[in-house]
Structure 1
Amino acid sequence: MNTLMKLPRRLLASACHVGPDAEQPWPSPLFRWGQSLALLAARVYVARVFFLSGLTKLRDWDTTLALFQDEYQVPLLPPEVAAYAGTAGEVLLPVLLLLGLGTRFAAAGLSVVNVMAVLSLAEIAPAALAGHQWWGSLLLGLLLWGAGRFSVDQALQPRLRA
């Protein structure tokens, strides 16, 4: 039992190493690479979901307008404006998210699209709601931690500091 209790400490110790001030633990390079890979996976997954939804709306614009007029009850916006805004968000913001360009802006915008999608439906199936909650949690992670190493944001960071 004693060995099992030490295992989490060993895993934590391997994920962190001591920083320059000798008291502050810093994530190890392995942890930072893993986090960046997880953020990349989240960006790809969420971008694909929203982009494909936007393409579906573009393919049959008449049906999209009808849905926004009859089915979706978007608060504060006329149905036609909501259709244009929602579709534009679902097509443009995923591209930014995928590239990791303005990641927090794109994640915030897609979060608004996600919340509006849930609020605009009178009834939503439990499985659909679970999907929206999952996407929302991934977007929250991107809002908190940004795009990670594999992004245009990261590539531009040294240039923006100069």
Structure 2
Amino acid sequence: MNFLRRSQGVLDAIPSLVALFVRIVAAHPFFVSGQTKVDGPQIGATILGQEISYTLPTSIRDATFALFAQEYKVPLLSPQIAAYLATAMESVLPILLVLGLLTRLSALGLLAMTLVIQIFVFPDAWWTVHAYWAALLLVLIVRGPGALALDRLFCRGDDR
């Protein structure tokens, strides 16, 4: 009977761990993309044999502006505004998502970004990547961040 109680406790924790995993996986490609767009000092460490570094964004690379002017053409926005907007979203929203802070709003922003990328930038990438990003983000929007999230501290009913 004691084994069953302990097993139940482990099983009860699984949804929160899955939600954390989904937040991390959904945030990763956006975060990595954002890091390629900025310059600034780097901080980092080696954790469990993995080099982990972060560029503190102090400026946007000239190559980023060129990319938005030549390849990532988004209608209704100038390349400069699109570059600033995408870089800001990719720099802030993934961090909020991993922390579980403003999770649904962050996921919604990244979902909007995914749809813009799909429609205007890489229309052939739906089944190779964008559908998977959209699926993860939709799960977070609909189900919430899970119990292992900062949202739980601020929004009591939002810890599913």
TM-score by length of 1: 0.72
Contact 1:93 1:110 survives alignment (8 Å)? yes
Alignment gaps of 5+ in structure 1 = 1-27
Q: Does the residue aligned with 1:150 lie in a helix, a strand or coil? A: coil
Match of 1:92 in 2: 92
Superposed structure 1 runs of 4+ greater than 4 Å apart: 28-32
For residues 159 and 112 of structure 1, the distance between their equivalents in structure 2, rounded to whole angstroms, comes to 25
Match of 2:24 among 44, 49, 53: 44
Alignment gaps of 5+ in structure 2 = 1-7, 40-59
Match of 2:136 in 1: 138
Shift of 1:32: 5.0
Residues 31, 142 of structure 1: CA spacing in aligned structure 2 closer, same or farther, 3 A cutoff?
farther
Contact 2:117 2:123 survives alignment (8 Å)? no
Larger Rg: 1
**How big is each residue's C-alpha offset from its partner over 1:83-122, in whole Å with a ceiling of 9 and x where there is no partner?**
1000100000011101101100000011111111222226
Residues 156, 92 of structure 1: CA spacing in aligned structure 2 closer, same or farther, 3 A cutoff?
same
Match of 2:14 in 1: 34
Q: Does the residue aligned with 2:28 lie in a helix, a strand or coil? A: helix
Structure number with higher strand proportion: 2
Mapping for residues 48-63 of structure 1, pairs under 5 Å: 48-59=28-39, 61-63=61-63
TM-score by length of 2: 0.72
For residues 22 and 157 of structure 2, the distance between their equivalents in structure 1, rounded to whole angstroms, comes to 26
Contact 1:74 1:119 survives alignment (8 Å)? no
Residues 32, 77 of structure 1: CA spacing in aligned structure 2 closer, same or farther, 3 A cutoff?
farther
Contact 1:90 1:113 survives alignment (8 Å)? no
User: Quick one: percent identity of the two aligned structures?
Assistant: 38
Q: CA RMSD in A?
A: 2.4
Q: How many residues align?
A: 131
For residues 61 and 32 of structure 2, the distance between their equivalents in structure 1, rounded to whole angstroms, comes to 14
Shift of 1:39: 1.1
Residues 157, 116 of structure 1: CA spacing in aligned structure 2 closer, same or farther, 3 A cutoff?
same
Amino acid at match of 2:21: A
Residues 122, 159 of structure 1: CA spacing in aligned structure 2 closer, same or farther, 3 A cutoff?
closer
Structure number with higher helix proportion: 1
